[in-house]
Amino acid sequence: MIVLPAIDLRAGQCVRLYQGDYSQATVYSPDPVAVALRWQEAGARWLHLVDLDGAAQGQPVNLETVGRIRSATTLQIEFGGGLRDLASIERILSLGIERVVLGTSAVRQPSLLAEAVRRWGERIAVGLDARAGLVAVAGWQQTERLTAVELAARLCTLGVARFIYTDIARDGTLSGPNLEALQVLLQVLSLAQPARALIASGGVRSLEDIRSLARLGVEGVIVGKALYTGDLDLAAALACAASSEPTAEAGS
């Protein structure tokens, strides 16, 4: 299982939100590049990078910072936040970003998602951001009348190979991941041909959480606040994920 440390960008700084609330933001570093290098030195191979300003405004905002992180590290990077048209997606990918995550556009512009998947294949992932099971969009500020499970099933038909599930109520709370919701999603994604990959996000706080997610059978886990508060050591989390095995029935 892959562990992806998260960096959330707001006004060029590394911040964390509480349950996706922009009014409850904590600045952890004014230098996101230094943070990315710290995670790289700890052994990370992937970085989960989110442009919070871009998610709220509908177009990428922190591109200069993204470019500096790309230039300074050898990390593989997945990026999300404000990607609502093909030009924005292409611009991010042209920076050397390995994967982009579509959220709002995947819900509201399925034709855009389909074209993006046609052009870039597995470099396109979809974020399933849920509040009480319902999909949230526009920087988590609007809720759709659609469940994450329903959306995942629908988008599998468009060829999406990878989904990232975030339980908003647990994001930034250190309350543990929503294992039950993840299990249901894995069951849905296992029915696709071929089966789709799932990355978990939200609430991870301990090595036991890492073990539980690995046993569940998710492809990866995004870890944010626990790294910044010191509740979780990244090197230890990486070692734990590498040594943990999924259960035989995971995703089935």
**Catalytic annotation, residues:** 8, 129
Residue 73, Cα to own-chain centre: how many angstroms?
Answer: 19
Interior CA angle at 237 toward 231 and 238, to 5°? 150
Contact 137, 168 (CB under 8 A): no
Contact 83, 100 (CB under 8 A): yes
Q: Is the link from the previous residue into 246 a cis peptide, with omega within 30 of 0?
A: no
Question: What is d(CA 215, CA 242) in angstroms, rounded to the nearest whole number?
Answer: 12
Count of all residues that appear for the chain in the document: 252
- What residue spans of 10-147 are helical by DSSP H? 32-41, 52-57, 63-72, 86-94, 104-108, 110-120
C-alpha count within 13 angstroms, C-beta hemisphere, residue 249: 2
Residue 85, Cα to own-chain centre: how many angstroms?
Answer: 19
Encoded amino acid at 187, one letter: Q
- Which three-class secondary structure state does DSSP give residue 248? coil
